[in-house]
Chains A and B, each alone.
Chain A
Amino acid sequence: MDNPDLIWGILDSMADAVFLLDAERRILALNEAAARRLGRPVNELVGACLCDVCPPESRALRKDKLEQVFAEGKLVHFDDQQAGKWLSHSLYPICDAAGKVEQVLVSARDITERKQVEADLRKLNVEQQFIFDSVPAMIWYKDIHNRFLKVNKAVTRSMGMPAEAIEGKTAYELFPDEAEHYFSDDQEVIATGQPKLGIIEQVKVLATGEKRWVQTDKIPCRDEAGRVTGLLVFVMDITAIKQAEEMIKQSAEEISRANKELEQFVTIASHDIQEPLRVISNFLQLLEKRCQDQLDEKGKDYIRRAVNAAQRMQALINDLLAYSQVTRGESKELGPCRLEAVLKNAVGYLQVAIEKSRAIITHDPLPVIEGDEMQWVRVFLNMISNALKFCDKAYPVIHISAADLGQEWQLSFRDNGVGIAPEHIKLLFAVFMRLHPRNQYPGTGIGLAICKKIVERHGGSIRVESEPGKGSTFIIVVPKRKRGQP
């Protein structure tokens, strides 16, 4: 092993630059890498003073490091940057028998790449920490023994302690009362290896003592072997959301109560108004009867108009009541509703009018839908009675058909009546909207408004296709199942 040629042969194969210096800083020997580093051939460098051949920027550094190793006789290690490259230097003293440093072995390694990687890593860490701490939710890492490993800023704020006071401590040390309770969820995650997400609970904030609602997600961390070594816990404050939910619930309750009160009011009011109206109507008629001989044509006419008005008022109130009661129908349970039976029912009510007008009513097979049967009878009644009423032909012809649209049924009521002008169509379904003078076609104008309300309560829609003189087709689309149910 004393063969210097062999030794230097080995050193020549290394990537690190190596050279041997004497006490005068003269290069006694060097390897290929060192020669390359210094930019000159080996034979030119042997015997030269190190300070003369080194790049000017690093001369100062080397000088005092060299001083140090020669003086102290101990290994000196330093990094320096030369022309964009990072080099790591080791200065190894070789001492004589007395312990005085005779020579120093200098080796220099290019650590540029390492330095770059370190810089990138630092940058990444900074970024990560930034995200970690910027997230308003609390994030922490725990091990399987309920110990906090890393916490973000939100946690330190919430606990009122710096990270150093939390990291490394167990939950038992930080909040003994609740530690076990929270740990039970942790244990589940550790045992099953499955994340537990969306845990909604009420917790006490350590810093202020107040209670807040939070949503917690616990996710297991695994090592390379797949074993669970800890947990990532994510906690979001949902107190505001909970409060909003509570407010919505209260509002909904209030609205429901207000609606009920309104309904009751309408029912009572209409009843109380009907009674004196009846008296007016009845006694006017009695008056006419009794005083027939004493009244002239004008007198009789006046009475007739008054009675008429009173009766119209009664009809209006009845219709308003019916309209307001459609809402109540919603709370009634919806059941299977056979539309063929509904049609039969409606036709039954209109028997007299149908016979009188000699109407022909035909229909396709009608489906069973989910709905309030009484309300659908009302719809059919209205559709048919309108068709009967608004007819200027020899006799009304009405056809009712049903088409399957997949998720919905489309019911069509086609008549041969007077039709509706396009500019009137959009007004058609408004409450109390009448398109004709009262003496031409009677009615309060609420029928279609009621139909629309009923259809919409069932989640459906109603429209009309019509041309004046060419009859009308009323089209009702209604879902097969009430919205929101399978």
Chain B
Amino acid sequence: MSELQSVPFEILLVEDNEDDVLLTEEAFKECGFALRIHEVADGDEALRFLRREGAHQEAPRPHLIILDLNLPRKSGLSVLKDLKSDEKLMDIPVVVLSTSKMDRDVKASYQHHANCYIIKPVDVSVFFDIVKQMVQFWFSVVALPREQ
């Protein structure tokens, strides 16, 4: 655990597939950081969470958003677009975590200012490793903006 970590890191996971959510939770558990995972199953709810609307009035501001592209109703790309055009939300780093290897999805995500794109590996242990690296990267390597 990082010495500088006084509060747990808040992560918003936007993923509609229950099994993938479970898998990702397990992966986070192995990271060795104090993490609080918030889960929403679609894009509209993610925006409500971030804007603290409706049921999410007490929601904390996440340090990191993990976004799947394949979401019902509102696509991940569309959520990304909204996030990165909202002044109050655009500074939260967004990691796109998707099974899609397609060039056009990768390019589109970066064009909409995703902070990075991770292709979900097929192998579970590799996946766990990647999640660990990702968490380490964002929470002990990079500097994050402080919330005013």
Contacts and interface: CB of A to CB of B under 8 A. Distances in A.
Interface stretch (A33-41, A118-126, A279-287, A345-353): A279-287
Contact of A285 (B17, B19, B99, B124): B124
A281 B122 contact: yes
A181 to B, nearest CB: 55
B99 A282 contact: no
Interface string A225-267: 0000000000000000000000000000000000000000000
Interface in A268-289: 274-275, 278-279, 281-283, 285-286, 289
A446 to B, nearest CB: 17
Contact of B19 (A274, A282, A314): A282
B59 interface: no
A281 B122 CA distance: 8
A286 B19 contact: no
B99 A274 contact: yes
A267 B124 CA distance: 24
A279 B19 CA distance: 7
Secondary structure dominating the interface of B: helix
A285 B123 contact: yes
A282 B23 contact: yes
A424 to B, nearest CB: 31
Contacts of A311: 122
Interface string A291-321: 0000000000000000000010010000000
A275 B68 CA distance: 14
Contacts of A283: 19, 23
Contacts of A274: 99
A311 B121 CA distance: 12
Secondary structure dominating the interface of A: helix
A275, A278, A314 pick with most chain B CB within 10 angstroms: A278
A278 B26 contact: no
Contact of B26 (A279, A281, A286): A286
B23 A275 contact: no
B125 interface: yes
Contacts of B122: 278, 281, 311, 314
A468 B99 CA distance: 41
Nearest to A288: B124
B99 A286 contact: no
Contacts of A275: 17, 99
Nearest to B26: A286
A374 to B, nearest CB: 9
Contact of A289 (B17, B19, B99, B124): B124
B125 A278 contact: no
B13 to A, nearest CB: 16
A449 to B, nearest CB: 21
A481 to B, nearest CB: 28
Nearest to B30: A289
Interface in B12-30: 17, 19, 23, 26
Contacts of B123: 285
A278 B127 CA distance: 12
Contacts of B17: 275
A252 to B, nearest CB: 29
B18 to A, nearest CB: 9
Given A278-B99, A279-B19, A314-B122, 10 more contacts: A275-B17, A278-B122, A281-B122, A282-B23, A282-B124, A283-B23, A285-B125, A286-B23, A286-B26, A289-B124
15 contacts: A278-B99, A278-B122, A279-B19, A281-B124, A282-B19, A282-B124, A283-B23, A285-B123, A285-B124, A285-B125, A286-B124, A289-B124, A289-B125, A311-B122, A314-B122
Ranked 4 nearest A-B pairs via Cβ:
A285-B124, A279-B19, A282-B124, A282-B23
